[in-house]
Chains A and B, each alone.
Chain A
Amino acid sequence: MAGSTSSWSRALVQISPYTFAAIGIAIAIGVSVLGAAWGIYITGSSLIGAAIKAPRITSKNLISVIFCEAVAIYGVIVAIILQTKLESVPSSVMYAPEALRAGYAIFASGIIVGFANLVCGICVGIIGSSCALSDAQNSSLFVKILVIEIFGSALGLFGVIVGIIMSGQITWPSNAA
């Protein structure tokens, strides 16, 4: 346990692991959805404006919006997985290291997924906006820019993978202790 010299670390370990877990789950879903929404509005406004002069681009460029939406879905999935990992433990073992570790793991998993999806959503949104504008001028550019978007959306996937791996190791201390 921490010595009496550092009061910060004493304060931190006195916080219930459920706090950290709950915040982690909130960040997982909340910040992912923020990223998705950001990306969708960036793409959507350019898409609507460009489609006035070039109506043919609308159906193809909805892919950019779908990629952004996928980011929000990742966030939802991870949040659901994380919340299934929450277990009640008796208060005697609530501050045991294993319980703290479980709490911190859920928190970290939530942050990983949330922020990875945030930047992924913004990235795909900006590329989608440029894709719509270039497609309106020259339709051969669409497929090439789509490749960039695919690479961009892989970023969110990385975050989800690591988050799920982290959450897979979560074990709360068993009741007998």
Chain B
Amino acid sequence: MYGFEALTFNVHGGYLEAIVRGHRSGLLTAADYNNLCQCETLEDIKMHLSATEYGPYLQNEPSPLHTTTIVEKCTLKLVDEYKHMLCQATEPLSTFLEYITYGHMIDNVVLIVTGTLHERDVHELLEKCHPLGMFDSIATLAVAQNMRELYRLVLVDTPLAPYFSECITSEDLDDMNIEIMRNTLYKAYLEDFYRFCQKLGGATAEIMSDLLSFEADRRAVNISINSIGTELTRDDRRKLYSSFGLLYPYGHEELAVCEDIDQVRAVMEKYPPYQSIFAKMSYGESQMLDKAFYEEEVKRQCLAFEQQFHYGVFFAYMRLREQEIRNLMWISECSSFLVFFLSHDVARPSHEGGRTRLIPQISANDSEIIASGSRFCRKLKKNLNKAKEAYSSMAKVRKEWESQALLAIDKVASEILTGKKSSLAKQASILLMIAHDGFSASELCLHYLFASSNLDELTLSSSISKLDGSEMLSLIRYMGKWLRKYERFPQAGHCPTAASVLGLKACDWVPSLESIVKYLGLVLDEHFSSLVLYSEFHEELRSMEVVMKSLGLEARLCCSLANVIENLRTEVGQREGA
């Protein structure tokens, strides 16, 4: 009976509830996140974490730390706490706690099956599995060829067995089918969990139904957005939506027929709780949607702790910990990226503000979130998107380039310098002029990126592969501008000495023609298929092709001329010698 849980809850659940609330008070606070965001290396992060509850888990790690080690040890802490609670729990709390881990089990199963499909070693995959989702016969998954075998060999003995009834087919496992399998399993799991909580009744049912409905709705929106433009039919899409939640059933009907993000937004704005989420994003932006959903989820999970004598606190605590571990992963990744970026002595203005802006933080107490970050890619995307927060720092960068260019022109105009220095100054001023004119502030920041000599091609190509359409277009336009500039001003060449002789530091940061061409090649390699398929890129690429052709002709001409000059020189040398 709702309202009278207080009379009997503590018989079996009082001790564990008090324990989980104690764990919750050990979540990282806003002050901790501030300290962590100021960290520049992984060692600093380890030092700050040793003052928190993660201390005993990280203190024995040897010195060259990786982000994966930090994440692994923090997850280990969560697993220890979970196991302690599980062994103390009686029914129905023990079943409830086990339900929380089935999501991880599903992820592990899909990870192993996908990895096997891509011919990876089973042991490597087992190491990547989430420890909360392990079960005994998990390694046997690598043997299965299709879903029926998967079920018969391994999964029938696991708690996931009842979820398979909807997706057993004899089709071979391939990428698309595996994703559909993952989503079908997760849908069945959520519905089962929801029914279990309803059966428990009381405050647990009410609080868990709120948290699970939000999860179901969030998954429905993500499925809709991710399946726009793929081969997934509307009926298949509808089958992946869970049959509970605020959006069920009318919202699902509308979401199933959405063909682009603005239609999804129009559907979601009819529901007041989700309207506030979508109101935070301006039109056309989909990157911030994940962040907004995470924020809302954390807020609701914190609210679950307001009431006593129910099981929702266990679920909320596990989710909050997982979010915290995600935050730590992003902080570690961003700080190791900062090490890379800072070692090139990039202009300071974009850095001070940039550091805390790169990593806005989430703490369970304040419920803000860390935006998605994969190192390098984030800076690249930010510059290409002209994000407003970075605008002021980019304006500073622009002023710096402007001042350097003007300085160079002054030096040429002044009569103090003579001879070699004057011609050097002329060269430098031409170089800076082409680097500065016609480029927007954010593109000026990209100069630093492409001019750096330590740019690792592998990282660049992986982050290029993560760019989406509009960002790629701006990147290609940027490179096109460079090509045209170099074509118009053939006398613009690399001036390595200008920095030291004339004090024009910006000359070092102008990317050369070879590097531009090399990185353009990388972009083309990574995105060849999408570049061919989407027509927006065609005109840009055609104009670049024209430029390249003329440059190529020139180069051939110059090469033959250079050969002639070489021959003449050797002849003259021989004549003089003779």
A binding-site residues for B, Cβ under 8 Å: 38, 41-42, 45-50, 52-54, 122, 126, 129-130, 132-133, 136-137
Contact among A45, A53, A126 with B15 in the assembled complex (CB-CB below 8 Å): A45
User: For the complex, what is the distance from the CA of A47 to the CA of B7, rounded to whole Å?
Assistant: 16
A132 — which chain B residues lie within 8 A by C-beta?
Answer: 18
Contact among A42, A53, A136 with B10 in the assembled complex (CB-CB below 8 Å): A42
Please state if A45 and B22 are interface contacts (CB–CB under 8 Å).
Answer: no
Q: Distance in Å from the Cβ of B280 to the closest Cβ of chain A?
A: 30
Q: Does B295 contact A (CB under 8 A)?
A: no
Which 5 A-B pairs give the minimum distances between C-beta atoms? A49-B18, A53-B22, A45-B14, A50-B18, A49-B15
Against A, the Cβ 8 Å flags (1 = close, 0 = not) of B9-51 are: 0110011111101110110000000000000000000000000
Q: In the complex where A45-B15, A53-B26 touch, is A133 in contact with B10 (Cβ < 8 A)?
A: no
Please state if A47 and B18 are interface contacts (CB–CB under 8 Å).
Answer: yes
B6 — which chain A residues lie within 8 A by C-beta?
Answer: 42, 126, 129
A54 — which chain B residues lie within 8 A by C-beta?
Answer: 22, 25
Please state if A133 and B18 are interface contacts (CB–CB under 8 Å).
Answer: yes
User: For the complex, what is the distance from the CA of A52 to the CA of B15, rounded to whole Å?
Assistant: 10
User: For the complex, what is the distance from the CA of A132 to the CA of B308, rounded to whole Å?
Assistant: 12
Chain A minimum-CB-distance residue to B20: A49
Q: Distance in Å from the Cβ of B54 to the closest Cβ of chain A?
A: 15
Please state if B23 and A53 are interface contacts (CB–CB under 8 Å).
Answer: yes
User: For the complex, what is the distance from the CA of A7 to the CA of B34, rounded to whole Å?
Assistant: 81
Please state if A46 and B14 are interface contacts (CB–CB under 8 Å).
Answer: yes
User: For the complex, what is the distance from the CA of A46 to the CA of B25, rounded to whole Å?
Assistant: 15
Q: In the complex where A122-B7, A130-B308, A133-B308 touch, is A49 in contact with B14 (Cβ < 8 A)?
A: yes
Q: Distance in Å from the Cβ of B464 to the closest Cβ of chain A?
A: 47
Q: In the complex where A129-B308, A130-B308, A132-B18 touch, is A46 in contact with B10 (Cβ < 8 A)?
A: yes
B binding-site residues for A, Cβ under 8 Å: 6-7, 10-11, 14-19, 21-23, 25-26, 308
Q: Distance in Å from the Cβ of B4 to the closest Cβ of chain A?
A: 10
Inter-chain residue pair count (beta carbon < 8 A): 60
B21 — which chain A residues lie within 8 A by C-beta?
Answer: 49-50, 133, 136-137
User: For the complex, what is the distance from the CA of A147 to the CA of B13, rounded to whole Å?
Assistant: 26
Q: In the complex where A50-B18, A50-B22, A53-B26 touch, is A45 in contact with B7 (Cβ < 8 A)?
A: no
6 A-B pairs besides A54-B22, A122-B7 with CB distance below 8 A are: A41-B10, A41-B11, A42-B6, A42-B10, A47-B18, A53-B19
Q: Distance in Å from the Cβ of B533 to the closest Cβ of chain A?
A: 56
Q: Distance in Å from the Cβ of B26 to the closest Cβ of chain A?
A: 7
Q: In the complex where A42-B6, A53-B25, A53-B26 touch, is A129 in contact with B19 (Cβ < 8 A)?
A: no
Please state if A129 and B14 are interface contacts (CB–CB under 8 Å).
Answer: yes
Q: Distance in Å from the Cβ of B486 to the closest Cβ of chain A?
A: 64
A/B interface sample: 30 pairs, CB < 8 A: A41-B11, A41-B14, A42-B10, A42-B14, A45-B11, A45-B14, A45-B15, A46-B10, A46-B17, A48-B15, A48-B18, A49-B16, A49-B18, A49-B19, A49-B22, A50-B18, A50-B19, A50-B21, A52-B22, A53-B19, A53-B22, A126-B6, A129-B10, A129-B308, A130-B308, A136-B21, A136-B22, A136-B25, A137-B21, A137-B25
User: For the complex, what is the distance from the CA of A42 to the CA of B53, rounded to whole Å?
Assistant: 29
Q: Distance in Å from the Cβ of B332 to the closest Cβ of chain A?
A: 26
User: For the complex, what is the distance from the CA of A126 to the CA of B5, rounded to whole Å?
Assistant: 10
Chain B minimum-CB-distance residue to A48: B15
Please state if B308 and A45 are interface contacts (CB–CB under 8 Å).
Answer: no
User: For the complex, what is the distance from the CA of A41 to the CA of B13, rounded to whole Å?
Assistant: 12
A38 — which chain B residues lie within 8 A by C-beta?
Answer: 7
Q: Distance in Å from the Cβ of B257 to the closest Cβ of chain A?
A: 48
User: For the complex, what is the distance from the CA of A54 to the CA of B19, rounded to whole Å?
Assistant: 10
Q: Distance in Å from the Cβ of A64 to the closest Cβ of chain B?
A: 13
B25 — which chain A residues lie within 8 A by C-beta?
Answer: 53-54, 136-137
Q: Distance in Å from the Cβ of B363 to the closest Cβ of chain A?
A: 15
Q: Distance in Å from the Cβ of A3 to the closest Cβ of chain B?
A: 43
Chain B minimum-CB-distance residue to A50: B18
User: For the complex, what is the distance from the CA of A42 to the CA of B308, rounded to whole Å?
Assistant: 12
Please state if B19 and A52 are interface contacts (CB–CB under 8 Å).
Answer: yes
Chain A minimum-CB-distance residue to B9: A42
User: For the complex, what is the distance from the CA of A38 to the CA of B4, rounded to whole Å?
Assistant: 14
Chain B minimum-CB-distance residue to A54: B22
Chain B minimum-CB-distance residue to A137: B25
